[in-house]
Structure 1
Amino acid sequence: MGNKIFITLGSQKFQFNRLLKAVDELCEKGTVDAENVFAQIGYSDYVPQKYNYKTFLDRDEFSDEMEKADIVITHGGTGAIIEAVKKGKKVIAVPRRAKYGEHVDDHQLQLIKQFDDLNLICPCRDTNKLEIALDTVQRTKYNSYKSNTLNIISSIEDYLMEI
């Protein structure tokens, strides 16, 4: 696969070793070309063996990696998903799970479902199915992200004019 993949795991103090290991396994199998993968691993303590990574990226580095990517693999955080879909990237979102010590609860399952219902992303609820998600994301046409910010601002302005 020749697509450039950027993995971003956010900046919260939770590891996501499970996802990083799954990508290493796909590189080992040859399903993913390790030369085309870069990860921002955050607080994970698993060190990728097959692909390049950095613990944290500054704003410019992050923007550069996002720009180069065809596919973004991310945790189920709202900010990470929205930033990638705003830039027109194909997104695979993998939820952090409480049972693996990756978060305090399983709210990312619900967030990913919402984005999936809007046909904005490819959900991958199980890292053992990451290979399937990579195939799916390449074959699927997703909706463009449309921000609702202007509508919210307009509603607030209308309300303020009425009082």
Structure 2
Amino acid sequence: MSRHKNIVFVTVGSTRFDALVDKVISEEVILSLKSKGFEKMVIQTGHSNVPSGLGLKENEDMSQGNIFGLLIEVWPFRPSLKEMYEDAELVIGHAGSGTIIEVLRLGKRMIAVPNETLLHNHQAELAEALDAVGYLVSSSVRDLAVAIGQATSKKFERFPEYDASKFNGILDEEMGFNVAA
């Protein structure tokens, strides 16, 4: 468990999402996080570039430092992100379905930021639908600082637990098995 209580975890998944990485280390977003009491930000960058000149110190597979008074830790990949999700008070992530479901099942506050460079922009559709029912806050990269204020003050709906019987029922119905006459 981390010694910092107020952690925000940022994840871009396994792809490249330079716009989100650039935005979370901007003065606007960092000051928004600090105003909400966050002490540390951990950024999983995937294949994204991390801007140089931030004063972050390289240490094996990660960089760390302090930007505008916020402790920052940056690394590309880890075998599992579950521990970071558990430690974080807020998760800011790309709007991939796997990330969203894992974070919401842990009962964490989440800001989903669709990567608009992806084909068909399915992430935006998913994020907006889940925002509409109160499970998370959907935000563009541009509006992230505002979304932080919303996500830290909003009362979120509890995401439902996984129920395999529902999926099995749908699959059986689609395949024509066990359908009541």
Larger strand fraction of residues: 2
* TM-score (ref. length: structure 1): 0.81
Once the two structures are superposed, what CA deviation does each residue of 1:35-94 show, in whole Å capped at 9, x if it has no partner?
A: 5100111010134734211100112xx111111001000011111111101000000011
Tell me whether 1:38 sits opposite 2:55 in the alignment.
no
Point out where structure 2 has 5 or more consecutive residues left out of the alignment. Answer: 55-66
The residue that corresponds to 1:18 in the other structure is 19
Once the two structures are superposed, what CA deviation does each residue of 1:102-153 show, in whole Å capped at 9, x if it has no partner?
A: x23322111111111221110112x232111111001101111113533122
Q: Secondary structure at the match of 2:142?
A: helix
Maintained 8 Å contact 2:24/2:30: no
Give the drift of 1:157.
5.3
Tell me whether 1:141 sits opposite 2:155 in the alignment.
yes
The residue that corresponds to 1:57 in the other structure is 78
Point out where structure 1 has 5 or more consecutive residues left out of the alignment. Answer: none
Tell me whether 1:111 sits opposite 2:126 in the alignment.
yes
Paired AA for residue 46 in structure 2: G
Maintained 8 Å contact 1:5/1:71: yes
Of structures 1 and 2, the larger Rg is shown by: 2
Q: Secondary structure at the match of 2:32?
A: coil
Percent of residue pairs identical: 24
Larger helix fraction of residues: 1
The residue that corresponds to 1:160 in the other structure is 177
Give the drift of 1:18.
1.1
Maintained 8 Å contact 1:7/1:38: yes
Change (3 A) 1:38 1:120: same
Change (3 A) 1:10 1:157: same
Number of residue pairs aligned between Structure 1 and Structure 2:
153
* TM-score (ref. length: structure 2): 0.74
The residue that corresponds to 1:85 in the other structure is 104
Maintained 8 Å contact 1:26/1:32: no
Paired AA for residue 77 in structure 1: G
Maintained 8 Å contact 1:4/1:68: yes
Maintained 8 Å contact 2:114/2:139: yes
**Cα RMSD after superposing both structures:** 2.5
Of the three residues 108, 133, 144, the one matched with 1:130 is 144
Change (3 A) 1:29 1:89: closer
Q: How far apart are the structure 1 equivalents of 2:163 and 2:156?
A: 18
